[in-house]
Amino acid sequence: MGIPLEQILIQTINGLVNGMILALVASGLTLIFGIMDVVNFAHGELVMLGAFTAATTLATTGNFWLALVVATLVIAVFGALLQVTTLRPLLGSGSRTPQEVALTTILATFGISLVLQKYALWQWGPSARKLQEPITGQFTLFYLQYPWYRIATAVLSAAIIGALYLFLKYGKYGIWIRAAIQDRVMAQAMGIPVPLLHTAVFAIGAGMAAASGVLFGPLAGVTQTIGADFTLRAFIVVVVGGMGNLGGSILASIFISLLEAYASLIVSPAQAVIFSFVALILTLLFRPTGLFVPTPK
């Protein structure tokens, strides 16, 4: 007996919604790696901090959209401070080889992630917090009452990613960032302040992570462990899409989310994650540069 068409269509919508939230996380992670060559293992914890910051702001003000803006700005500033105080000294050390710098930054960001998890546990406690969605209406989708908020989440995520694309393509500082990604040494020789760009890019990535945490909060609740899941899935996306490839990470986010959504039709959602790891392994074996990286001619 085949799978009903309506179930396939519903899972397609679920996959697209989850894919856009994941793309928002992975875009910031990809941008940071592209310009800094830093594998940020604390990126998921920035998602978690953004969600908790929004929960605190929402409890105080009662305004979800204000909480979204406040959390994004606060975590962006926190990300900038984190880069200046922790990562910049490691990146600026000329006595280490690139391999030593990469290992050091991985260990540093992994340590930061553990510290932020314990801080969240101490500050907000072990119980989950639910953000109240600002859009409570539903519409009929076959046999389901599907929430409009899930659609709005995908649209907002796409809008933020679109704004990032326009900034990178047409903005003065966005062009600087693209120049530094292509050739950091040449960009610095042309007078572009690369260390300041590093800080700005880390702040942008942290803000995008926080925004995704706020948008995801009403869907599943907020705990101090949600960052680990986002970090794992974002790294799968970055590898499948191509390290440092922003467009590839967006396409890979949608691909991985749809893959898990369709897999959950035949196995449990917990087991569907296995299909993402299979895609990761196959990518590393047969296309290690990424599935969505153009083949050089």
pLDDT score at 82: 93
For residues 213 and 166, give the distance between their C-alpha atoms in angstroms, rounded to a whole number. Answer: 23
140 by DSSP, 3-state: which?
strand
32 pLDDT tier (thresholds 50, 70, 90): confident
Question: Whole-structure pTM over 0.85, yes or no?
Answer: yes
CA quadruple 117, 161, 203, 52: dihedral, nearest 10: -30
Q: Average pLDDT, stretch 136-157?
A: 87
pLDDT score at 94: 58
244 neighbors 33 (Cβ within 8 angstroms): yes
The set of long-range contacts for 172-178, using a CB threshold of 8 Å and a minimum separation of 24, is 173/197, 173/200, 177/31, 177/35, 177/201
Sign of the CA dihedral 104, 284, 11, 9?
A: positive
294 pLDDT tier (thresholds 50, 70, 90): low
244 neighbors 288 (Cβ within 8 angstroms): no
228 pLDDT tier (thresholds 50, 70, 90): confident
pLDDT at 210 over 70: yes
17 neighbors 156 (Cβ within 8 angstroms): no
pLDDT at 28 over 70: yes
Least confident stretch, 91-95, 105-109, 124-128 = 91-95
Least confident stretch, 19-23, 44-48, 129-133, 165-169 = 129-133
